[in-house]
Amino acid sequence: MKPLAMIPWFPGTNCHHEMARAFEASGARVEIVQYTKLLNHTVSLTEADLVGLAGGFSFGDHIRSGAIAACDLVWLLRDQLEALRARRIPILGVCNGFQIMVEAGLLPGDGKIGDHAAVLDTNLSGRFEHWTQIPIYFRHDGCVWTNGLDGVSFTLPVAHGEGRLVPAASPDYHVVATYGSLAGDANKSPNGSPIAGICSPDGLVMGMMPHPERRIDKLRGGEQGLAIFRAGVGAVS
């Protein structure tokens, strides 16, 4: 049986169908789960082989991007998050999904769930940046989602208002994606940070601001984004 990828849907999430298509094209079954079903335990994330947190504007980005969704995960679904960790389930967060991960303490991923060690802050430009393509440079560093991509670069779209990782540098960051060069170039970043994506120390949880799910079709900019989803699905197949 194909592995099951679950994608929680929060009010304001709007990239879940694109992420679902990417997982399906990579060989997974997909279930998009309304988050209230998680809260009332109709469905549990523990049933998943993979979890994807999609982009959008969960809860209207009130307080901070991803903050309210993260509070629900930490305070109401902590048992499910702990079970995912215990079962070593790979988790991918894209854009708002990455913001939720950071707010929930899933990333940088070196502490307890709920510990808040970083934030994705407002772009230095002070505005929402929407670039149709920007070169992203990847490294493996033990991350299941970038397996086979060490030293590889390809273009992806970005679209966010809060994507600048703060603090700017930390020994806790396992950087697996950068803007501009493999070393990272803040001057070629849409938000002022050279970091496009980080992974947890165990290699299972990755968050990134660029949108790989928007590059899965030859007729819509190319299929390069599928490499990330295929790596994740391959890790549990």
Known catalytic residue at 129: no
Known catalytic residue at 213: yes
Lookup result for tokens 């988050």: 35
Which pLDDT score is estimated for 110?
72
Considering the candidates 95, 140, 162, 199, report the single residue annotated as catalytic: 95
Closest-CA residue to 232 (of 148, 161, 167):
148
Known catalytic residue at 174: no
CB environment 3-41: b (16+ within 10 A), e (fewer):
bbbbbbbbeebebbebbbbbbbbbebbbebbebeebeee
Which pLDDT score is estimated for 120?
97
Which pLDDT score is estimated for 111?
76
Which pLDDT score is estimated for 102?
96
Lookup result for tokens 């708002």: 96
Which pLDDT score is estimated for 34?
96
Which pLDDT score is estimated for 164?
97
Radius of gyration of the chain (CA): 16
Q: How far apart are CA 143 and CA 199, in angstroms?
A: 6
Which pLDDT score is estimated for 226?
99
CA 25 to chain centre: 18
Statement: the pTM of the whole predicted model exceeds 0.95:
yes
Secondary structure (H, E, C), 101-141:
HHHHCCCCCCCCCCCCCCEEEECCCCCCEEEEEEEEEECCC
pLDDT tens, N- to C-terminus, the chain (237 residues): 999 999 999 999 999 999 999 999 999 999 999 999 999 999 999 999 999 999 999 999 899 999 999 999 999 999 999 999 999 999 999 999 999 999 999 999 877 899 888 999 999 999 999 999 999 999 999 999 999 999 999 999 999 999 999 987 788 799 999 999 999 999 999 999 999 999 999 999 999 999 999 999 999 899 999 999 999 999 999
Return the CATH number of the domain spanning residue range 4-236. Answer: 3.40.50.880
